[in-house]
């Protein structure tokens, strides 16, 4: 995923092979050193093998081991046989690394490291990387910062420190320059359309209280301490009796495409439909494209219903074969990969006629997605 971003990141490999490709590339490259990203989950799984192979090959490489304390992309599960940052440092040193350095978010609990491992604050990340790039052999940088989604989840349960401070943007002062997004690259900074042009605001439900947005030189930011956002008043909602829907004749597999973003119930809708069909003795299949759901990313469900289970030969809806589309988000529904399965006769129903902010919004103030009739 990092290759989609403006991070100057090239190539990818299988899980556990991170850095091993440089063993073969290094003798034929004019570049003397590279950095290799490595998540803590991959390290626990098999990443140490690649580090040991790099040491044995004698190449110049720095492994950037991100310790975010969760399997962040698939639900925030705890690592099986998880190690502490200090234990990882000892293992990497024992494997033959020339130097191991730690960079720790100063707002979190400080882990214990061996005495020969220098610990720095986040602001010194660039300086530390330049120092490691000048060391021959294998080095490692252990970056300790809990996954942002896990921070919010644990804070709701009282399991993680919760700073008694919130940040707001005064739209009357904001000039919409977007420097706050450049400084923080935070998805909680979202566009705010006003009669005076586009401004910025902070989505308090998505804010992980990193406060890196305050590094920008901007007088529109307001910090509030010892306060909680005002809760919206609840109202009773009486749902009138709904008419029975006209179900299609299942003389063949019937294909439904469901789209949305993480947290909007898209996976639940697909699961309910397929289970209902199963209980009626029909054939049903569901394919969930939900890899980015934990990060508020696009989610697409391919749901197929048929008279008998053996009538379904493929789970994925092929191009031009969707009979209906339930759109939970306009941006996701209008994506090229989502439009491809639509048939000429497909019926579209937008359950939530809104559009999510684009991923480029924090870094690109002018990015927009305007709905057209």
Residue with tokens 């684009």: 358
* 10 pLDDT more than 80: no
Q: Name the most confidently modeled range: 124-128, 243-247, 359-363.
A: 124-128
Kindly provide the residue ranges of all beta strands, DSSP E only, lying in 171-251, ordered along the sequence: 189-194, 197-202, 221-225
Per residue in 298-342, pLDDT tens?
889 999 999 999 999 999 999 888 888 888 888 888 888 888 888
Start and end residues for every CATH 3.40.920.10 domain found in the chain: 254-350
* 105 pLDDT more than 80: yes
Is 254-350 assigned to CATH 3.40.50.880?
no
Nearest one of 165, 172, 162, 175 to 223, comparing CA atoms: 165
Start and end residues for every CATH 3.40.50.970 domain found in the chain: 2-150
pTM of the model: 0.75
* 358 pLDDT more than 70: no
Instruction: Give the pLDDT score at 248.
Output: 75
* Residue 361: pLDDT band with limits 50, 70, 90: low
CB-based contacts of 22: which residues, under 8 Å, 6+ apart? 34, 36, 54, 59, 61
State how far the alpha carbon of 82 is from the alpha carbons of 42, 87, 88, 180, in Å: 11, 10, 10, 35
Least confident of 1-10, 149-158, 205-214: 1-10
CATH architecture for residues 2-150? 3-Layer(aba) Sandwich (3.40)
Instruction: Give the pLDDT score at 2.
Output: 65
Kind plus residue range of the DSSP H or E element containing 256: strand 254-261
Residue 182's SS3 state is helix
Q: Name the most confidently modeled range: 149-163, 189-203, 229-243.
A: 189-203
* 373 pLDDT more than 50: no
CB-based contacts of 185: which residues, under 8 Å, 6+ apart? 362, 363
**DSSP string of 40-90?**
HHHIIIIIHHHHHHHHHHT--EEEEEEE-SSBGGGT-BPPTT---HHHHHH
Q: Name the most confidently modeled range: 1-5, 176-180, 231-235, 274-278.
A: 274-278
* 371 pLDDT more than 60: no
Within 10 angstroms of residue 319's Cβ, the number of other Cβ atoms is: 10
127 φ, ψ (degrees, to nearest 5): -65, -45
Per residue in 83-104, pLDDT tens?
899 999 999 999 999 999 999 9
Least confident of 44-58, 119-133, 213-227, 331-345: 331-345
Per residue in 114-133, pLDDT tens?
999 999 998 899 999 999 99
Q: What share of the chain is helix, strand, coil (3-state, %, to 5)?
A: 30, 25, 45
State how far the alpha carbon of 52 is from the alpha carbons of 17, 37, 67, in Å: 11, 15, 19
Q: Which two tokens stand for residue 25?
A: 């590339």
Start and end residues for every CATH 3.30.70 domain found in the chain: 163-225
Instruction: Give the pLDDT score at 22.
Output: 93
Please state which CATH class domain 163-225 belongs to.
Answer: alpha beta
Per residue in 146-180, pLDDT tens?
887 788 888 888 888 888 899 999 999 998 888 88
């Amino acid at each position: 995923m990092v290759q989609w971003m403006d991070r100057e990141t090239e190539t990818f490999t299988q899980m556990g092979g991170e850095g091993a490709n440089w063993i073969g590339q290094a003798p034929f490259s004019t570049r003397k050193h590279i950095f290799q990203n490595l998540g803590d989950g991959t390290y626990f799984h098999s990443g140490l093998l690649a580090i040991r192979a790099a040491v044995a090959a004698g190449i110049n490489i720095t492994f950037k081991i991100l310790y975010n304390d969760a399997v962040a992309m698939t639900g925030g599960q705890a690592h099986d046989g998880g190690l502490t940052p200090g234990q990882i440092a000892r293992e990497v040193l024992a494997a033959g690394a020339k130097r191991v350095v730690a960079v720790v978010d100063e707002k979190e609990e400080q882990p214990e490291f061996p005495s020969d491992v220098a610990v720095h604050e986040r602001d010194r990340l660039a300086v530390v990387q330049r120092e490691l790039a000048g060391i021959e052999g294998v080095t490692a940088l252990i970056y300790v910062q809990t996954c942002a989604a896990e921070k919010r989840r644990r804070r709701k349960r009282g399991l993680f420190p919760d700073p008694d401070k919130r940040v707001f943007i005064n739209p009357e002062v904001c000039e919409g320059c977007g420097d706050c997004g450049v400084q923080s690259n935070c998805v909680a900074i979202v566009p705010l359309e006003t009669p005076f042009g586009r401004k910025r605001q902070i989505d308090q439900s998505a804010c992980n209280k990193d406060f890196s947005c305050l590094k920008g030189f901007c007088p529109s930011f307001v910090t509030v301490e010892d306060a909680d956002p005002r809760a919206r008043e609840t109202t009773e909602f009486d749902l009138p009796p709904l008419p029975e829907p006209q179900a299609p004749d299942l003389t063949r597999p019937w294909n439904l495409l469901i789209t949305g973003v993480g947290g909007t119930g898209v996976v639940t809708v697909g699961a309910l439909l397929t289970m209902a069909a199963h209980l009626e003795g029909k054939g049903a299949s569901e394919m969930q494209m939900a890899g980015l759901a934990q990060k508020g990313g696009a989610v697409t469900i391919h749901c197929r219903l048929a008279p008998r289970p053996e009538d379904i030969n493929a789970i994925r809806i092929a191009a031009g074969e969707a009979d209906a589309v339930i759109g939970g988000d306009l941006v996701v529904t209008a994506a090229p990969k989502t439009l491809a399965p639509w048939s000429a006769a497909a019926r579209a129903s937008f359950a939530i006629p809104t559009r999510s902010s684009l991923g480029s919004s924090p870094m690109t103030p002018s990015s927009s997605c305007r709905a057209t009739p």
